[in-house]
Amino acid sequence: MLHLLWALLNIGLFIFFVFLCFNAAKLIKERFGLLASVIFVFGLLSFVGHSESDEEYNKPNTRSMQTWNLRTSDSSDEGYSYVAEVELEKTLISKYNLGIGYDKDSLVKKSTPVSAFSWITGFQSGTSWKPVSIIVNQTTGNNTFEYEVDGTIGWRLLGMTVYHQPKHWKGIVVLN
């Protein structure tokens, strides 16, 4: 419910901001002319277009899904054959998910985790998810993995982060 209220607050503030910008552009046009009004509008658009810093843009895995490789570097196989999906948390408007890529050894009948990744689906107005650490361990059973996911949810108002909420999920996933 909090996610929905936060999204509605963001949408309401954005609509109010657009209304204020139109009124300000109209006032600038009346007092200083059309050229000043156009410069004002392009100036606002330039700020809206650069909501993230260039340093954040250039960091690896910030624009695509970050993947944790769980297999040791001396393994010769690349990739994975199966994916187990876990729903970490469900809100009214979005879901936080974990994906675990794994291989099955048919001779030994043992599953081995290869990689893990986390993502959010649904409506995400005013929040952002950044996984920090994903740990997947084999359990004594052949069809289960134990996982731990740590990350932060960024609560944003009009593109500015107001609060970073730490999240931690821990559990066991049963493989198909």
pTM above 0.75, yes or no: no
Domains of the chain, by residue range, sit at 2-50, 67-174
CB atoms within 10 A of CB 85: 9
List CB contacts of 109: < 8 A, sequence separation 6 or more: 142
Show pLDDT as tens, one digit a residue, over the chain (176 residues).
Answer: 888 888 898 889 888 988 888 898 899 889 989 888 888 888 877 766 545 544 443 444 444 567 777 765 445 455 567 888 999 999 888 999 999 988 887 777 788 888 899 999 998 888 888 999 999 988 887 788 999 999 999 998 877 889 999 999 999 998 87
Residue 92 exposure: Cα atoms within 13 Å on the Cβ side:
9
Cα distance between residue 12 and residue 106, in whole Å: 55
